[in-house]
């Protein structure tokens, strides 16, 4: 599966732009601020219905414009699918496949798999558990539509329950039956989501280890541990036991929204004891493992977006990624670089078809 054409209107710094891409390697070169990363983000948006870097949709609309439109042609063999994403200020975002709007945006996620490797990925190692949950939820959402359905429903019931706790506190009363009406489905969904995450980790972990070893040429062992209170057989009892704490805090204290993923190197915390290079290798291994699982599940090679890797990675890791591109284990790849002479030098070694795009110019 690959992206053949992309047309942008009022997306971030783009007034308008049209591109026709190659099936293999596309290198986007241009000065910093020219919009290379924004172009990657547009591809990400078309595949996953949102920006990779901007949580607020409205901020992806060009400054002082009223709307944005992204229009892409995805190819799979001879099949062409036109995907359109549009957003008007103050209105709901619309995604369309061949001009037909989706009822639910979530129905689109996972149809055109994409993996992004970006310079700030090591935040995953250093930041709090929320970042890691967000990453793995994104991975699972693309991989398994049933996960996304359960996850969205869990979050909806969770926010209803939290609002109910607020109502109880503000009006100074408690309705046990009402609370239980939310407890039951919330516990059931938490246990289902836990199962999804646990089973996913069984397949994911060996891949991470393999890619880490491939990228680093060293002998340290990495580990990834999924931690969840929901794993306990007495979770339903524990959940209900925390009722008075929940009432006091006006929020739900137990559930899969408290899960964490622990990254380790030789049995110690990667965040504390891993070098910068080891942390980088680890997150790239995570992304490549994600790529391989998606490829297996969707039976097509995802689109790989590589943001600024020539600048941020050392020669060994760049060489390993180029080796993977060359071996054909990666499909369509987009690479951004601020220094054209460097990307030419590196990509000249690649046998596959490489196209260069100077960003800031428009291509028909």
Partner 1 sequence: MNYPSRLIEDAVNEIAKLPGIGKKTALRLALHLLKRDEEQTRALSDALLSMRTQTQFCRQCHNIADGELCAICSSTKRDASLICVVVDTRDVLAIENTSQYHGHYHVLGGIISPLEGIGPADLHIESLVRRLQQASEQEPVREIILALSPTMEGDTTAFYLQKKLKPTGVKVSTIARGIPIGGDLEYADEITLGRSIVSRVAYD
Choices 130-138, 179-187, 238-246, 259-267; region in contact with partner 1 by CB under 8 A: 179-187
- Tell me: does residue 177 bind partner 1 (CB under 8 A): yes
Q: 30 labelled as ligand-binding?
A: yes
Q: Please, which residue, 147 or 154, has the CB nearer to partner 1?
A: 154
Q: Please, which residue, 177 or 315, has the CB nearer to partner 1?
A: 177
Select from 80, 89, 126, 166 the one that contacts partner 1 (CB under 8 A): 166
- Tell me: does residue 76 bind partner 1 (CB under 8 A): no
Beta carbons within 8 Å of 322's beta carbon, 6+ residues apart: 346, 347, 349, 350
Q: 33 labelled as ligand-binding?
A: yes
- Tell me: does residue 167 bind partner 1 (CB under 8 A): yes
Question: Is 267 exposed, middle or buried, given 0-12, 13-18 or 19+ CB atoms closer than 10 A?
Answer: exposed
- Tell me: does residue 180 bind partner 1 (CB under 8 A): yes
CA distance 136 to 117: 14
DSSP 282: H
- Phi/psi class of residue 110: alpha, beta or left (left: φ > 0; alpha: ψ in -120 to 50)? left
- Tell me: does residue 182 bind partner 1 (CB under 8 A): yes
Choices 4-12, 38-46, 161-169, 189-197; region in contact with partner 1 by CB under 8 A: 161-169
Beta carbons within 8 Å of 345's beta carbon, 6+ residues apart: none
- Tell me: does residue 90 bind partner 1 (CB under 8 A): no
CA distance 4 to 79: 11
Q: Shortest Cβ distance from residue 178 to partner 1 (Å)?
A: 5
- Tell me: does residue 178 bind partner 1 (CB under 8 A): yes
Q: 34 labelled as ligand-binding?
A: yes
Q: Shortest Cβ distance from residue 104 to partner 1 (Å)?
A: 9
CA distance 26 to 189: 42
- Tell me: does residue 155 bind partner 1 (CB under 8 A): no
**φ and ψ at residue 250, rounded to 5 degrees:** 55, 30
Dihedral (Cα; 121, 125, 127, 128), 10-degree rounding: 130
DSSP 107: G
Q: 250 labelled as ligand-binding?
A: no
Choices 20-28, 177-185, 195-203, 206-214; region in contact with partner 1 by CB under 8 A: 177-185
- Tell me: does residue 157 bind partner 1 (CB under 8 A): yes
- Tell me: does residue 184 bind partner 1 (CB under 8 A): yes
CA distance 117 to 288: 9
Residue 146 in tokens: 């049933």
Choices 166-174, 298-306, 310-318, 340-348; region in contact with partner 1 by CB under 8 A: 166-174
- Tell me: does residue 15 bind partner 1 (CB under 8 A): no
CA distances 229 to 73, 123, 261, Å, are 44, 24, 12
Residues 20 to 59 in contact with partner 1, rule: CB under 8 A: none
Q: Shortest Cβ distance from residue 173 to partner 1 (Å)?
A: 7
Select from 10, 12, 24, 161 the one that contacts partner 1 (CB under 8 A): 161
Q: Shortest Cβ distance from residue 106 to partner 1 (Å)?
A: 13
- Tell me: does residue 88 bind partner 1 (CB under 8 A): no
- Tell me: does residue 181 bind partner 1 (CB under 8 A): yes
Choices 115-123, 159-167, 210-218, 258-266; region in contact with partner 1 by CB under 8 A: 159-167
Alpha helices (H) along the chain = 36-48, 123-126, 129-143, 145-171, 176-216, 235-241, 243-249, 270-273, 276-298, 309-312, 315-327, 340-347
Closest CA to 207 of 284, 276, 266: 284
Question: What is the H or E stretch that residue 358 is in?
Answer: strand 354-358
Rg (CA), the chain: 22
Residue 281 in tokens: 């290798």
Q: Using CB under 8 A, list all residues that contact partner 1.
A: 153, 156-157, 159-161, 163-164, 166-167, 171, 173, 175, 177-178, 180-182, 184
**Which residues are annotated as part of the binding site?**
30-37
**Which residues are annotated as part of the binding site for ATP?**
30-37
């Amino acid at each position: 599966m690959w992206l053949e054409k992309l047309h942008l209107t009022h997306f971030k710094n783009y007034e308008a732009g049209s591109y026709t891409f190659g099936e293999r390697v596309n290198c986007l070169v241009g000065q910093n601020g020219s919009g290379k990363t924004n172009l990657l983000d547009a591809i990400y948006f078309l595949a996953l219905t949102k920006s990779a870097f901007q949580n607020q949709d409205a901020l992806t609309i060009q400054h002082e414009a009223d709307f944005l439109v992204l229009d892409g042609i995805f190819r799979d063999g001879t099949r062409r699918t036109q995907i359109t994403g549009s957003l008007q200020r103050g209105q709901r975002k619309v995604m369309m496949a061949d001009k037909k709007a989706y009822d639910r945006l979530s129905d689109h996620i996972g149809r055109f798999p994409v993996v992004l490797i970006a310079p700030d990925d090591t935040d995953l190692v250093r930041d709090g558990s929320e970042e890691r949950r967000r990453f793995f939820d994104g991975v699972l959402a693309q991989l398994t539509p049933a996960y996304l359905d359960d996850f969205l429903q869990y979050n909806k019931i969770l926010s209803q329950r939290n609002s109910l706790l607020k109502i109880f506190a503000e009006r100074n009363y408690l309705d046990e039956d009402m609370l239980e009406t939310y407890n039951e489905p919330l516990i059931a969904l938490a246990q289902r989501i836990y199962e999804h995450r646990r089973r996913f980790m069984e397949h994911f972990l060996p891949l991470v280890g393999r890619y880490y070893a491939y990228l680093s040429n060293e002998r340290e062992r990495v580990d990834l541990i999924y931690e969840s209170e929901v794993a306990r057989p007495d979770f339903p009892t524990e959940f209900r036991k925390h009722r008075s704490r929940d009432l006091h805090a006006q929020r739900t204290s137990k559930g899969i929204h408290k899960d964490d993923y622990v990254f380790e190197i030789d049995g110690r915390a990667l965040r504390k004891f891993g070098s910068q290079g080891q942390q980088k290798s680890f997150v790239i291994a995570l992304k490549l493992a994600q790529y391989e699982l998606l490829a297996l599940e969707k039976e097509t090679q995802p689109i790989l977006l590589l943001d600024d890797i020539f600048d941020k990675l050392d020669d060994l890791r760049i060489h390993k990624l180029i080796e993977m591109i060359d071996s054909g284990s990666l499909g369509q790849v987009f690479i951004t670089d601020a220094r054209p002479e460097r990307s030419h030098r590196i990509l000249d070694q690649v046998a596959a078809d490489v196209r260069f795009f100077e960003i800031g110019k428009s291509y028909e």
